[in-house]
Amino acid sequence: MLWSPPVSDMAFKTLARVLIEKAGGLEAAAACLRGRVGRSQLANYQSPHHDQFMPVDVAIRLTEVTGDIALIEAMAERAGYRLTPIGAVEPGCAVRSVAAVAKETNEALQALADGMGDGALCGRDVARIRSEMLDIARVATEGAASLGSASLHGLPTIGGAA
């Protein structure tokens, strides 16, 4: 009688097959692994009739080659974790940075409105507006620096558009 993995583990077999295919098939994937495992072992990792699953070091190497993170992502999820790219920014950080710029912008607009209340801007009004605008620049620069060159993952979208 043939062995079959539990339904909950079938995804690992399917994802292993996809990863091997993206690496160029069994021969190419084995070549990428430089002798760590061969073609027949890789075939076992993707076969629903074998009780062997792809080890994490093999999955990582093939992920590095293909850029496909689906298998290691599923492994992490099974263990109760989520993968986050190194350098990714938490959405809260971006939201706080933009909110701080909006707050400073509002203060500059308020300074302008207060100054224009009598119909003309005096030297003191201009100095206050300039100060508020410099605050915008400082907060925006600090916020942009805190985000670095990372991509913003996980930000909610409006209307389902990305």
Residues 74-108 have pLDDT tens digits of 999 999 988 877 766 676 788 888 999 999 999 99
Looking at the structure, tell me whether residues 97 and 39 fall in a common domain: no
Give the pLDDT confidence score for residue 59 in this predicted structure. 96
- Mean pLDDT value of segment 35-55: 94
Of 30, 53, 78, the last residue of a domain is 78
Model confidence pLDDT, tens digit, residues 60-70: 999 999 999 99
Burial 11-35 (b: 16+ CB within 10 A, else e): ebbebbbebbebbeebeebbebbee
Domain end point (choices 25, 49, 78): 78
Residue that is last in its domain, among 44, 78, 112: 78
The two tokens of residue 136 are 């915008």
Q: Which domain covers residue 118, as residue numbers?
A: 91-147
Instruction: Assess if residue 160 is contained within a domain.
Output: no
In a domain, 161, yes or no: no
Q: 20 and 68 share a domain?
A: yes
- Is residue 157's pLDDT more than 50? no
pTM above threshold 0.85: no
**pLDDT for residue 146:** 76
Q: Mean pLDDT throughout 131-146?
A: 88
Write out the DSSP string of 100-134. Answer: HHHHHHHHHHHHHHHHGGGSS--HHHHHHHHHHHH
- pLDDT (tens digit per residue) in 6-24: 777 899 999 999 999 999 9
Are 59 and 115 in a shared domain? no
Q: Are residues 73 and 14 in the same domain?
A: yes
Q: How many domains does the chain have?
A: 2
**Do 102 and 53 reside in the same domain of the chain?**
no
* pLDDT in the model for residue 144: 82
Write down the pLDDT at residue 145: 79
Please give the pLDDT value at position 89.
Answer: 66
Q: Do residues 72 and 99 share a domain?
A: no
Which pLDDT score is estimated for 3?
67
Q: Are residues 64 and 12 in the same domain?
A: yes
- Between 156 and 38, whose confidence is greater? 38
20 & 74 share domain = yes
**2 occurs within a structural domain:** no
| 157, part of any domain | no
Could you tell me if 24 and 70 lie in one domain?
yes
